[in-house]
Amino acid sequence: VVGLRALATVSLVAASGLLFTACSDSTQAQPLEPPIVLLSTDVAIGLVDTHGAQGSCPVPFDSSWPYARDTDVSPQDFDDGLTLAMALNLEAQGDVVVDAVVPIFGNATVPAEMLVARQIVRNLKGREDIPIEPGAMGPASQTLQPAPVWFDGSVVPIEGPEGSFAAACRNRGVDLMRERLLASSRPVTILAIGPMTDVACLLNVFPDVAGRIAEIVVLASRVEGESLTINGKIVDDFNPREDPLAATLFLAAKTPTPVPIRLMTFQLTGQTSQADDLIFFDASTLRGPTPSTPASERSLAWVLAALEPRNAFWSSIFGTEEGPFDQYTLAATLWPHLFACDDALAYVLQCPFPAWSSAYPTDAAGDPTEIPFNAPANPCVDHGPGSSSLAQVPAQIVVTFDLADTGPLVRGTTGIDGNLPALDAKARPVTACTGFASQSARQEFQNLLYANTW
């Protein structure tokens, strides 16, 4: 969830899943139907792998401008896997309905992630009925390097229903999302906990599904001006970083009815990975259900074993075990009273310049004089001369609570080859969550994670 390299009242009835609402014409409480969730997820728990397709993102900075191969093999993130296992455990007690799972490149490669999804859904939880189909194998951002041109010199457009992204982004996972949305008797919440390539495709190619979506809850974004650090080390906002173009097209999507988008900002989701407020997952915190069953013991044992390499890897960098990230989206869907969220506007800030741009500064020999996306006076927080670890991060999703800031969606340097297109779109109204509702809500979040993750 973060790149390593660049890396109300909590009620007991809510906690037990017995949510009630009062009928207007009756004193008798009626149980609410549980939310239906669909996961767009780079589920990689237990994998030692690359980031899937990061190497085709626009990154290199030698004058020949070739693609850089992704050779960064490491124990990949477990937070999607914990989210998926937790959702299935909560479904078994009637708190949520898991409608479908669509793995997407990101933490790891899609083929390997498909096996992780099956391991959790089919083997550990015995759910043969939940459809699992592969989503995007790589980012849309590769279409930026450089933008194709027609014979007459005009640029092949990326954006819009007639653009190249919408023409080629469909896959079995996106089609499955559409089918499940249309077939559902109630609106569905999409947990977008990987790169935004598939949700961008869904909204751009099938805008008519908008009315079937209760909300899209996204693990992404930073509050304007916020530096992203974990235990003092700068990290990046991994999901948009993996496909900044798709993240932009997602926010820019025009639908017949507005799709509610909830952004779980790093200000909230980074909190419980800090050493002084850590929520962590190992045999001392995850105990499984009481009483246990042979199936629950088997599932817990696998999860604990699969966590270990990643925790060791994370600890070697940050000095602590890794906290929860993607689980915030599930918690926000099931227990929204735990979080402090407000109306906000989201925009995308371009960090100049890509290495192949004609505007990229070079010396007389044609060699670059700065690191890509780290130019002096760079508008992106944490970027600038010297922050070479962010040289592969072309843009940021930024949240502002100044609702008068209705400027363009894409900000910074646009209109040069290789940067995000300057779309005909304004900053996107969203709900942004930035903290816990209270200290007791933070404790309740921890209790719910520890009780239901196994």
* Residues that bind Ca ion in the complex, under the rule CB under 5 A: 42, 80, 193-194, 326
Nearer to Ca ion, 238 or 373 (CB): 238
Shortest CB 229 distance to Ca ion, Å: 20
Nearer to Ca ion, 97 or 220 (CB): 220
Phi first, then psi, for residue 343 (nearest 5°) are: -60, 140
Task: From 395, 436, 439, select the one nearest 220 (Cα to Cα).
Answer: 395
Query: Residue 37 gets which letter from DSSP?
Result: E
Cα 105 from Cα 53, distance rounded (Å):
7
Shortest CB 186 distance to Ca ion, Å: 25
Shortest CB 452 distance to Ca ion, Å: 18
- Cα-to-chain-centroid distance, residue 166: 20
Shortest CB 328 distance to Ca ion, Å: 11
**Helix or strand (DSSP H, E) at 350:** strand 339-350
Nearer to Ca ion, 60 or 81 (CB): 81
Cα 125 from Cα 117, distance rounded (Å):
11
**Helix or strand (DSSP H, E) at 89:** helix 79-92
Nearer to Ca ion, 321 or 326 (CB): 326
Nearer to Ca ion, 269 or 419 (CB): 269
Q: What share of the chain is helix, strand, coil (3-state, %, to 5)?
A: 35, 20, 50
The SS3 of residue 361 is coil
Shortest CB 121 distance to Ca ion, Å: 16
DSSP 130-198: S-B----SS-GGGGGTTPPB-TTSPBPP-SSTTSHHHHH---HHHHHHHHHHHH-SS-EEEEEES-SHH
Nearer to Ca ion, 60 or 194 (CB): 194
> How many residues can be counted in the chain?
454
* Structure tokens belonging to residue 329: 């989206």
Shortest CB 323 distance to Ca ion, Å: 13
Shortest CB 330 distance to Ca ion, Å: 12
Shortest CB 197 distance to Ca ion, Å: 13
Nearer to Ca ion, 80 or 99 (CB): 80
Cα 198 from Cα 250, distance rounded (Å):
9
Nearer to Ca ion, 242 or 444 (CB): 242
